Structure 1
Amino acid sequence: MSKASIILHAFPDEARPARALASALGVECRFVDVHTFPDGEILPTVPETAPTTIVYRSLAQPNDKLMALFLACDAWRRAGAQRLVLVAPYLCYLRQDIAFAPGQPISQKVIGQLLGDRFDRILTVDAHLHRTPTLSAVFPQTSSTALSAAPVIAAWLRQAPQLDFVVGPDVESASWVGQVADALGLPYRLFSKTRLGDNEVRLALDNPAEIAGRSVALVDDICSSGGTLIEAARMLKAFGARDVAACVTHALFDPSVDTKLRGVGARGIVSTDSVIHPSNAISLTPVLADALRGEVRD
């Protein structure tokens, strides 16, 4: 066990944001080694632990990551970690909060139990919760912290010249859009959305004439297929927007989405580094470090 009282562990594919967070906290950063056997089984080996071990692991493309994480939890405890803190900027399997059809699981409950039973505290950013009121409802057995990327997104958008409006692609984006707009001191608008299929939506915006000639930030928490954002950007340009810049917290989309956004007249898309992606332009380190300072002081 390390002589330090707190240490940060991460996985090599997320070295950059993990090192940035460790530096902001003034703690050492070390990396878990994951060996894959010929049959596909994996064996993680954790480095020296500390009484409080912060684990940085974003959970996009989660299935292989989760298995390595669960096995590593056993190794961390055996190595002497008394307190395990999971920093998962993107947290998976939260959308399926009810059984939408017979025979389906409630994935949110499953992931809540699996992670909540292994970690003493869980932090995430812009959790994809809709019918679930709070993150603590997902993790009733452990401490959890729901953070917002709005402050760092707003800080990045302040660089945009003459920004006039913040727009959300659907009513589900209201909380994120409102926070960003309030931080910038700007009005915001929300599209209403009717989903016609997995990749087809119909959008509508009240009083679209006010968009003409304006510079618009199109903001959402998550982008996967990109269909809604692309249609929203297309319509904003059709309404006469001078400029449209798309900005999301979690970049789960194929890089071609950026090309498609530019194809409808937008400036493309940027994201936070919650998920490693070519569109990353906004660091979550300030938000995460502020939330973790109590761990370091304690």
Structure 2
Amino acid sequence: MTSLALGDPPLRRLFGELDYAARAGSERLRQMSESWTALRGASLAPSWEDAQRAGFPAFPWGFAFRAAAGRDYDRLHAGPQAEQLLGGSFAKLGSAPNRRMSVRLRRLFDAVLAAGEPVLARADRAGTKREDLEILVLPVSTAGGAVDAVVGGFAPEPRSQAAAGARRPAALRQARDDAPLVFALGASHDFGLAVAHALGCELSEHEERVFEDGEHKARPLRPVQGRCAIVVHSLHADETQSANDKLCRLLFFIGALKDSGVRRARVIAPYLCYARKDRRTKPNDPVSTRYVAQLFEAMGVDGVSTVEVHNPAAFENAFRVPKVHVGVHEVMLPYLLKAARGERLAVVSPDTGGMKRAEALRLALEEATGEAISKAFMEKQRSQGEVWGDLFAGDVAGRTAVIVDDLISTGGSMARTVAECRKRGAARVLCVAAHGLFIGGASALFASDADRVAVTNSVPLTADLMARHTDRIDVLDVSGAVATAAREAGWLSDLNH
């Protein structure tokens, strides 16, 4: 049962089911819903004229009504079968011969116009709770732009669906109802789908809309009350949305879940924005990681997972909710063993701050190969956008240098380190990082002497970037590791308690 039914008990008593998601079992009602969404665009609702041109009420079960005085509705259209369902000819809904159905429809139309959103209801043909009839109601606007009319249709509920549900064993029904709801916002759809499948779940549907003034909304398109939800959203800037845009959308979506009664809401942010600003380096500096954590906590987030954060200790300290940090060594290790098979290796950090990360990878490679792996690091100083530092320490001569970092942004630091490794005799250079932001195409990196560049799919790469550098970029899938970490953290084990 959705928030519509929960918020209006009389409506809940009039219909067997009410759903804002409007996912009809009938193919013709699904097509009507999809056409309405396309016509609506960024406006509150399509016009009645557009709906007519699209042929909305044309089929025999179709209808259209406009709000009239006295809480009644003028008939704009009713197909022959819709008219028969309402008991015969009539001018106003309140005068339809089938009084029970007309009363129920009036209440349903009121709710749809008040919310400005479609609704799918199920009832029997007499208006009781036996669910053998689907009723789709969609808001439209008439002259003046006011949302004051509805279009829609009736359709018999597919018997095959009902029969299949009745035959499904109770254990399977319970397993489906207890499974976590996994949502993936925006550009994180593919990553979220992979995580959901790794968890043994389907990706749940949701709606995202942007209005004419740039404001937006996102809402789940299925009941969430009492359920556990996992929201996947990588908080990186891309061509259409900034990191701020994505953070705001995620917070609002979490708020919508909480308002709709979700039991637990957890976030998987493969790339966590503002994680690099985790300490004060100048007087009055912000500590942005902590502020992001406070925003999450204010919205009631029950757990946060991220991939290869800039500073794991700062991440642990900033968030007071349960944290899950997913390292990428387990996906990098097999890649490196294959890419540098039989070669002597050196693991290089492009700055001193990343030496712990590089050392962890070096030890993992030593354990896997049984051979000694050298290490090196490059000096890097940064202030006001300027980077400098020429010190390089370590042995890379005659070896395959593996330069490892948490992310590649513009690629400038990697390019500096590649040049220094080549200068000091490295036979090959592999650049690996968890997150590939590739700001501005990371032109300096791809103009360097790096042999290969490997990143994970925590940030989706643009088609243009892949097309231009397909012979040098490797993308490693980290979705399985993210799903495993969520399972090991108990994000699934508490669902039945």
TM-score (structure 1 length as normaliser): 0.89
Q: Deviations over 1:256-287 (max 9, x none)?
A: 32x53343311142211111124561111232
What amino acid does structure 2 have at the position aligned with 1:139?
F
Return closer, same or farther for 1:70/1:263 CA change in 2, 3 Å cut-off: closer
For CA contacts below 8 A with separation 6 or more, give which structure has more relative contact order.
Answer: 1
Greater Rg over alpha carbons, structure: 2
Mapped pair 1:57 → 2:215: no
1:21-55 Cα offsets, whole Å, 9 max, x none, are: 11111011124321111111101122223611011
Match of 1:284 among 471, 478, 494: 478
Give yes or no for the alignment of 1:136 onto 2:136.
no
The correspondence for 1:176, drawn from 347, 351, 357, is: 357
Q: Flag structure 2 segments of 5+ consecutive residues without an equivalent.
A: 2-175, 238-242, 367-372, 467-472
Go from structure 1 to structure 2 and tell me whether the alpha carbon gap of 1:212 and 1:102 turns closer, same or farther (over 3 Å shift).
closer
SS in 2 for 1:211: coil
Q: CA shift at 1:108, angstroms?
A: 2.1
Query: Which residue pairs with 2:199 in the alignment?
Result: 25
The 5-angstrom pairing of residues 188-207 of structure 1 reads: 188-195=375-382, 198-207=385-394
Question: Aligned runs of 1:219-258 on 2, under 5 Å?
Answer: 219-254=404-439, 256-257=441-442
**Could you list the per-position Cα deviations for residues 195-247 of structure 1 after superposition, in whole angstroms to 9, with x for gaps in the alignment?**
4762432232225xx42221111111122222111010011111111110111
Kept in 2, the 8 Å contact 1:270–1:280? The answer is yes
8 Å Cα contact 1:262-1:268 kept in structure 2: no
C-alpha separation in 2, matches of 1:193 and 1:102: 21
**How far did 1:75 drift?**
1.3
Alignment match, 1:122 = 304
Q: Compared with structure 1, are the counterparts of its residues 255 and 137 closer, same or farther at alpha carbon in structure 2 (3 Å cutoff)? A: same
Structure 1 residues 102 and 187, CA gap change in structure 2 (3 angstroms): closer
- Structure 1 residue 124 displacement after superposition: 0.9
CA gap of 1:163–1:297, structure 2 versus 1, over 3 A, is: farther
The one of 136, 148, 156 aligned to 2:335: 156
Give the equivalent residue in structure 1 for 2:457: 273
Residue pairs, 1:3-42, within 5 angstroms: 3-42=177-216
Distance 2:407 2:259 in 1: 36
Task: Note closer, same or farther for the CA distance 1:104–1:188 as it changes in structure 2 (3 Å cut).
Answer: closer
Partner SS state of residue 491, structure 2: helix
- Alpha-carbon contact 1:217-1:245 (below 8 Å) kept: yes
Aligned-pair CA distance for 1:133: 3.1
For the 8 Å contact 1:203–1:232, the answer to whether it is kept is: no
- Paired-residue identity, %: 27
Amino acid at match of 2:288: S
In the TM superposition, what is the alpha-carbon distance from 1:154 to its structure 2 partner? 1.6
2:492 aligns to what SS in structure 1?
helix
Per-residue deviation at 1:59?
A: 0.8
TM superposition shift of 1:104: 4.8
Shift of 1:123: 0.7
Residues 134 and 12 of structure 1, relative CA distance in 2, 3 Å threshold:
closer
Question: What residue identity is the alignment partner of 1:155?
Answer: P
Q: Secondary structure at the match of 1:128?
A: coil
CA distance 1:38–1:76, change in 2 (3 Å): same
Bigger share in helix: 2
